[in-house]
Amino acid sequence: MDTPLIDPFARAITYLRVSVTDRCDFRCVYCMSENMTFLPKKELLTLEELDRLCSNFIRLGVEKLRITGGEPLVRRGIMSFFDAMSRHLDSGALKELTVTTNGSQLAKYADDLFAAGVRRINVSLDTLDDDKFAAITRWGRLPQVQRGIDAAQRAGLRVKINTVALSGFNEDELFTLQSWCAERDMDLTFIEVMPMGDIGNEDRITQYWSLKDLRQRLEERFTVTDLAERTGGPARYIRLEETGQKIGLITPLSHNFCESCNRVRITCTGQIYTCLGQEGHSDLRAPLRASDDDSHLQTAIRHAIGLKPKGHDFDYSRQTASGQVSRHMSHTGG
């Protein structure tokens, strides 16, 4: 293996998140505006280019690959990409291939994902109320997602539910979501809403629900123990002793997690963002398309990693969305 990727703060980069499309069949209110203008298809990397790019990162030491969007499973022909990536699982170079999805297409693709070597998936789900789900996603329908989750579990995929903590929206469902996941033996992670992109009339400050408060509510009902476990992502984990349930907390605002960051993100256009909460990025599409010689691409990758900042600047403490970045989460990848 070539010399691994080490950033300026001595963090080894072993986790790559790749957005394969900015398109989505939902319009979640904290993620994008209802009337989105999506990228022209000619600007997107082809599936073959995504394969080459990911393969070079794996050659440079990336061991975990997460496929995101938008909604990754709406990209035409996407299963051919998953099938191609499975060769790196077979060789042992890649330890995990996984996907973050809204669940809308899982009934169609769950078996194929398992056949390609995917063993864990994250499903974004913020409420178990039909009407609230339709409101928060604008275009989504809860029964379709529930059928997808059923299909994923039948296929043998380990499902983790990702829930964005939203003030005034799902605070009253904390224990409903917790018990539902426990009954179905699904992991659950809560995420603080992040100030990314213009989302129309939605107010970031009123959306924000600190996970410090969420944890305090859990402690009123359960004995909560901190766990040392890490899975390569930003989540810190707690265990509810009475149920044995593990719950993840992703706290970019109430508790900065940057000191252990081992990941970078690539957009569907080949831009690499070495920090989710910073505007700085580098272009990998140009060197990818300029030459078939991977050494030029790897030089560009190493240069980008050399610019990785120490951390992000997200902050709501002054009742303003400080550190807000202009791009939508759907462009960068969740």
Query: Which burial class, exposed, middle or buried, applies to 257 when counting CB atoms under 10 A from its CB (0-12, 13-18, 19+)?
Result: middle
Q: Where are the beta strands (DSSP E) in 27-180?
A: 64-68, 96-101, 120-124, 158-165
Residue 54 known to bind ligand = no
Residue 124 known to bind ligand = yes
8 Å CB contact between 188 and 245: yes
Could you tell me which residues come within 8 angstroms of residue 149 by beta carbon, excluding any fewer than 6 positions away? 103, 106, 123, 159, 184, 186
Residue 264 known to bind ligand = yes
Residue 138 known to bind ligand = no
Phi, psi of 12, rounded to the nearest 5 degrees: -75, 130
Residue 24 known to bind ligand = yes
Residue 30 known to bind ligand = yes
Cα-Cα end-to-end distance for the chain: 28
**137: amino acid identity, one letter:** T
Residue 327 known to bind ligand = no
Residue 158 known to bind ligand = no
Residue 194 known to bind ligand = yes
8 Å CB contact between 49 and 289: yes
8 Å CB contact between 329 and 194: yes
Residue 261 known to bind ligand = yes
Residue 181 known to bind ligand = no
3-state secondary structure 26-51: CCCCCCCCCCCCCCCHHHCCCHHHHH
Tokens at residue 124, please? 């974004």
Residue 52 known to bind ligand = no
**What is the CA 118 to chain-centroid distance, rounded?**
15
Residue 273 known to bind ligand = no
Residue 258 known to bind ligand = yes
H or E element, residue 146: helix 142-155
Residue 120 known to bind ligand = no
Residue positions forming the annotated binding site for GTP: 17, 66, 100, 160, 263-265
Residue positions forming the annotated binding site for [4Fe-4S] cluster: 24, 28, 31, 258, 261, 275
Residue positions forming the annotated binding site for S-adenosyl-L-methionine: 30, 70, 124, 194
Residue positions forming the annotated binding site: 17, 24, 28, 30-31, 66, 70, 100, 124, 160, 194, 258, 261, 263-265, 275
